[in-house]
Amino acid sequence: MTSATDDATGPVLAADGTPLKRSLNRALRRQKLRALMLVAPLLLFILITFILPIGDMLFRSVENQIVSETLPRTVVALEDWDETTGELPDEAVFAAFHEDMVIAADQKLHTRLGSRLNYEVSGMSSLFRKTGRRVDRMDTDQPFRDQFIDVDKDWGDVETWSAIKLFSPEYTPGYFLNSVDRTLTPDGIEKRPEDQRIYVSLFWRTMVLSFTITFSCLLLGYPVAFLLSNLPLRSSNLLMILVLLPFWTSLLVRTSAWKVLLQDQGVINNTLVAIGILSDDGRLALINNATGTIIAMTHILLPFMILPLFSVMKTIPPSYVRAAKSLGATDWTAFWRVYFPQTVPGIGAGAILVFILAIGYYITPELVGGTSGIFISNRIAYHISSSLNWGLAAALGSTLLALVLVLYWLYDKIVGIDNVKLG
Amino acid sequence: MTLKKIMIGTASCVALTAGAASATDMTIVSWGGAYSASQQAAYHDPYMEANPDVNIINDESSAEAVAKLRAMNEAGNITWDVVDVVASDAIRLCDEGLALEIDADTQLAPAPDGTSASEDFGDLLVSDCFIPQIVYSTTFGYRTDMVGDTPPTTVCDVFDTETYPGKRSLEKRPINNLEWALLCDGVAKEDVYDVLETEEGQAQAFAKLDTIKDDVIWWSAGAETPQLLADGEVVMGSTYNGRLFALIEEQKQPVAMLWDAQVFDLDGWIIPAGLPEDRQQAALDYIYFATDTQRLADQAKYISYGPARASSAPLVGQHAELGIDMAPHMPTDPENAKNTFLYNYEWWADYRDDLDAKFQAWLAQ
């Protein structure tokens, strides 16, 4: 009796005597581990070549150790200084600064710091360069304050010192504020002067243009994809090659071809003038503006819309539309109520693909966009390769990434991310 | 077994090429195109002839040199030996500690008459890390068939859209454009940077540019203006003088130079900081050879940029293929250099970030 109850309530055992649950878990774990080992090379590859470098780059948007590392004593000494009094720091700060600068100039670090602070206050670059050259020759027995002011009167300016103090913490929100046209001041966060605000409007323009490009890709790509999936194989293959051919052509070649077509003295304008639709001085401005960017990028990104649409449309049995029609639906109803809803996963996939690609594009806008057709990525490229302000570039990049993630989240809420299919 | 053999074979091949590479290869970074070709003919080929164990590899990355050098420096793996950059980039690299400091008098060749290198280069040694090679200028070219009987004579004609209707192309950056705007708004040449330092001065420059804003096509690559001129898209445009020379003399387009208020700029060599001792020594040896008086004069045979040494100027001869005298096409030729403007490097290093933001905001308005 007792043993029977035990059998009924006790754990079920596997053949080797261990509880079946545990044995099963172990087997599953082993299976998962094996699966993980199979993907491990790819996982490691992505981690090392993609996640880590991007993480490192994004981290630069807040990193600011350079000030406290180059001027450790000055930063400590400045803690007691109250910039709101409008008075210069005391002699102790200048002495600490002298000590720091001698070491920095010896290791050639002062000019790098100058470039960093120049992003915040114009003139810092030459101030540090000049001071670094003279700091060795200063008389250590005399008060340093006058000697520094003697080198450059900017050392007698409270603004110089409050900028150093403001950017002395190891991490700064300064780059992020800059990326949304704000700036860090001793009185808190302020909007940048009106004549220096560029980034918010650029982000907005990037979004609007990317949406426009996605939409025009959909408008042009949908009928093509429909044709491709419904024509007999012979003609649809030919059409497919026509879709893919530009896809295989170099991006620069295609962009330059658009220049030839669209410019004032270009093929389109000349033809329109020749057949009398336009007057000679009423030529259309099709390039070096947002129109140029939209036209060229729609063309370049079109295959990314057509291909997912095509592969989804291919899977829709033609019998559905025939069934709808035989039940009395008009052509339009059959299309709109029966066919179109089944292509939504393809539209979703194509739209996401085109939009994400468009938002990060930079070479085409740079070449055909003039001033009103450039994207935020053009400024990111400028700060990476020209101004060397990598912190700001990283902040702009992070903001763009965050914007894309928000849009992705919205898409998931409205359409549902499960409802995306590549075929 | 076979696999093992193959692997051993491959490994030894790699080791061999790697060994050969470290012994002889020297990577020189430059701008590509006609410019790199002129360096190949004037510097690389003679150097390799004199030093048969050195093999020079060309890399055309000068446009991204600053960013790439910083990335290499952070990664601790510098693959370049000598890099050709413009002076403002050299100053930036020097400031960032990414370029080697070079003492002109001990590490560069003196002039044939014994003048020291620092005196021969003179004011053109704008940074401790920079060895100037050529003087180029950013100047205007115009379509001779689109300006009627009165070709433009001063830079201010660029701002005169009444007499010279049509588009103009200007570079998409504040540098040079703000200076020209102020010069044409009545500011004296020597006061330009003092005026530009003030808020009012900057507003004045932008206001002057406002008057032609609707007529401007902004370029970002040096090849754009020559193309726009050739297509008749613009009536005049700024670009580097060497590009205009190629357009006028080699491609025979109806274009002429407007040398007035040309802005001199410098291009030259830097050696990346942090190279291993032997490669640094090799790079310095190359620099010593490539920046001597004769070599700098030789480069002018292939491209219309002025040599940076004073002692090279009298040696400038004829174009290697066209056979025309190169001296009248040099930006430094007295006839062309009647009214010139020297780009103020220090000033722009300070104000570039600030004015660039303002310029971009102005463009977007």
**What are the tens digits of pLDDT across the range A399-421?**
999 999 999 899 888 888 777 77
pLDDT per residue over B133-173, tens digit each? 999 999 999 999 999 889 999 999 999 999 999 999 999 99
Q: In chain A, which residues have their Cβ closer than 8 Å to the Cβ of B217?
A: 288, 370
Rounded CA separation B254/B74 (Å): 49
Tokens 């005196």 correspond to what residue? B119
DSSP per residue over A183-227, as a string?
EEETTEEEEPPGGG--HHHHHHHHHHHHHHHHHHHHHHHHHHHHH
* DSSP H or E segment with residue A268: helix A267-274
Torsion of CA A378, A383, A385, A387, to 10 degrees: 130
Mean pLDDT of B14-41: 75
pLDDT for B1 equals 43
- Residue B199, number of CB atoms within 10 A of its CB: 10
Are A371 and B351 an interchain contact pair (Cβ–Cβ within 8 Å)?
no
Quote the DSSP letter at residue A22: H
Are B66 and A386 an interchain contact pair (Cβ–Cβ within 8 Å)?
yes
Angstroms from A391 CA to nearest CA on chain B: 13
Mean pLDDT of A7-20: 75
User: Amino acid letter at B145?
Assistant: D
- Residue A255, number of CB atoms within 10 A of its CB: 20
Lowest mean pLDDT segment, chosen from A96-105, B68-77, B313-322: B313-322
Structure tokens at A146: 């006058």
What is the torsional sign of CA A284, A290, A294, A297? positive
Backbone dihedral region of A68: left (phi > 0), alpha (psi from -120 to 50 degrees) or beta?
alpha
Rounded CA separation A308/B278 (Å): 55
Q: Which SS3 state, helix, strand or coil, does residue B25 take?
A: strand
User: Which CATH class for the B138-265+337-364 domain?
Assistant: alpha beta
Radius of gyration of chain B (CA): 23
**Statement: residue A95 has pLDDT above 80:** yes
pLDDT per residue over B164-195, tens digit each? 999 999 999 999 999 999 999 999 999 999 99
DSSP per residue over B156-224, as a string?
GGGG-TTTS-S-EEEESSSTTHHHHHHHTTT--GGGHHHHHTSHHHHHHHHHHHHTTGGGEEEESSTTH
**Statement: residue B23 has pLDDT above 80:** no
Angstroms from B39 CA to nearest CA on chain A: 24
Are B361 and A126 an interchain contact pair (Cβ–Cβ within 8 Å)?
no
**Pick from A96, A123, A95, A125: which is nearest to A110 by CA?**
A125
Tokens 């588009």 correspond to what residue? B167
Picking from B86, B89, B353 by the largest number of A CB atoms within 10 A of its own CB, the best residue to mutate is B353
Q: Residue B315 in contact with residue B293, Cβ under 8 Å?
A: yes
CB < 8 Å from A in window 168-227 of B? 172, 217-218, 220
Are A288 and B217 an interchain contact pair (Cβ–Cβ within 8 Å)?
yes
Least CB–CB distance from B353: residue in A202, A371, A389: A389
Do B25-135+267-329 and B138-265+337-364 agree at the fold level? yes
Structure tokens at B304: 């219309």
Are B353 and A118 an interchain contact pair (Cβ–Cβ within 8 Å)?
yes
In terms of CA atoms, which chain A residue is nearest residue B350?
A123
> Facing residues of B263 across strands?
B138, B341
Mean pLDDT of A345-357: 92
Quote the DSSP letter at residue B312: G
**Statement: residue A1 has pLDDT above 50:** no
Are A201 and B63 an interchain contact pair (Cβ–Cβ within 8 Å)?
no
Tokens 């940074």 correspond to what residue? B127
Rounded CA separation A407/A394 (Å): 20
In terms of CA atoms, which chain A residue is nearest residue B101?
A108
Tokens 């007499």 correspond to what residue? B163
**Statement: residue B74 has pLDDT above 80:** yes
pLDDT tier, B14 (very low <50, low <70, confident <90, very high otherwise):
very low
Rounded CA separation B339/A229 (Å): 67
**Statement: residue B29 has pLDDT above 50:** yes
Least CB–CB distance from A112: residue in B97, B220, B356: B97
Angstroms from B307 CA to nearest CA on chain A: 26
Rounded CA separation A71/A100 (Å): 5
Q: In chain B, which residues have their Cβ closer than 8 Å to the Cβ of A119?
A: 353
How far from each other are the two terminal CA atoms of chain A, in whole angstroms?
61
* Sequence-ordered list of residues with C-beta below 8 angstroms from that of B328, at least 6 positions apart, any chain: B335, B336
pLDDT per residue over A201-247, tens digit each? 999 999 999 999 999 999 999 999 999 999 998 999 999 999 888 88
pLDDT for A85 equals 86
pLDDT per residue over B39-65, tens digit each? 999 999 999 999 999 999 999 999 889
**Statement: residue A136 has pLDDT above 90:** no
**A205: exposed, middle or buried (C-beta count within 10 Å: 0-12, 13-18, 19+)?**
buried
**Pick from A379, A263, A180, A384: which is nearest to B172 by CA?**
A379
How much of chain B exceeds pLDDT 70, in percent? 94
pLDDT for B33 equals 81
pLDDT for B9 equals 52
Angstroms from B364 CA to nearest CA on chain A: 6
Q: In chain B, which residues have their Cβ closer than 8 Å to the Cβ of A194?
A: 361
Structure tokens at B215: 């007529």
User: b or e along A386-403 (b: 16 or more beta carbons within 10 Å of the residue's beta carbon)?
Assistant: bbbbbbbbbbbbbbbeee
Q: Residue B256 in contact with residue B248, Cβ under 8 Å?
A: yes
pLDDT tier, B20 (very low <50, low <70, confident <90, very high otherwise):
very low
Rounded CA separation A186/A195 (Å): 21
- In A, what residues contact B, Cβ < 8 A? 108-109, 111-112, 114-115, 118-119, 122-126, 129, 192, 194-198, 201-202, 263-266, 288, 366, 370-372, 379, 382, 384-390
**A415: exposed, middle or buried (C-beta count within 10 Å: 0-12, 13-18, 19+)?**
middle
pLDDT per residue over A297-343, tens digit each? 999 999 999 999 999 999 999 999 999 999 999 999 999 999 999 99
Tokens 């003399």 correspond to what residue? B249
| B360 touching chain A per CB within 8 A | yes
What fold is seen in the domain B25-135+267-329?
Answer: D-Maltodextrin-Binding Protein; domain 2 (3.40.190)
Domain ranges of chain B: 25-135+267-329, 138-265+337-364
pLDDT per residue over A245-283, tens digit each? 888 889 889 988 999 999 988 999 999 999 999 888 888
pLDDT for A423 equals 65
- Residue A280, number of CB atoms within 10 A of its CB: 8
pLDDT tier, A162 (very low <50, low <70, confident <90, very high otherwise):
very high
Angstroms from A365 CA to nearest CA on chain B: 12
Radius of gyration of chain A (CA): 32
Average pLDDT, chain B: 89
Q: How far is CA A380 from CA A38, A300, B302, in A?
A: 37, 22, 36
Are B97 and A202 an interchain contact pair (Cβ–Cβ within 8 Å)?
no
**Statement: residue A296 has pLDDT above 80:** yes
Rounded CA separation B294/B301 (Å): 11
User: What's the half-sphere exposure (Cβ side, CA atoms, 13 Å) at A345?
Assistant: 13
Backbone dihedral region of B309: left (phi > 0), alpha (psi from -120 to 50 degrees) or beta?
beta
CB pairs under 8 A between A and B: 86
Q: In chain A, which residues have their Cβ closer than 8 Å to the Cβ of B356?
A: 382, 387
In terms of CA atoms, which chain A residue is nearest residue B351?
A122
Q: Residue A284 in contact with residue A269, Cβ under 8 Å?
A: yes
How many residues can be counted in chain B?
365
Q: Rounded to the nearest 5°, which phi and psi values hold at A16? A: -85, 5
Q: Residue B350 in contact with residue A126, Cβ under 8 Å?
A: yes
Angstroms from B216 CA to nearest CA on chain A: 10
Tokens 């299976």 correspond to what residue? A31
Least CB–CB distance from A111: residue in B95, B220, B231: B95
pLDDT per residue over B270-319, tens digit each? 999 999 999 999 999 999 999 999 999 999 988 889 999 999 988 888 88
Are A387 and B356 an interchain contact pair (Cβ–Cβ within 8 Å)?
yes
- Residue A2, number of CB atoms within 10 A of its CB: 6
Q: In chain A, which residues have their Cβ closer than 8 Å to the Cβ of B70?
A: 388, 390
**Statement: residue A60 has pLDDT above 70:** yes
What is the torsional sign of CA B103, B108, B114, B116? negative
Are B92 and A115 an interchain contact pair (Cβ–Cβ within 8 Å)?
yes
Mean pLDDT of B229-236: 93
User: What's the half-sphere exposure (Cβ side, CA atoms, 13 Å) at A315?
Assistant: 13
Rounded CA separation A29/A41 (Å): 19
What is the torsional sign of CA B320, B323, B324, B327? positive
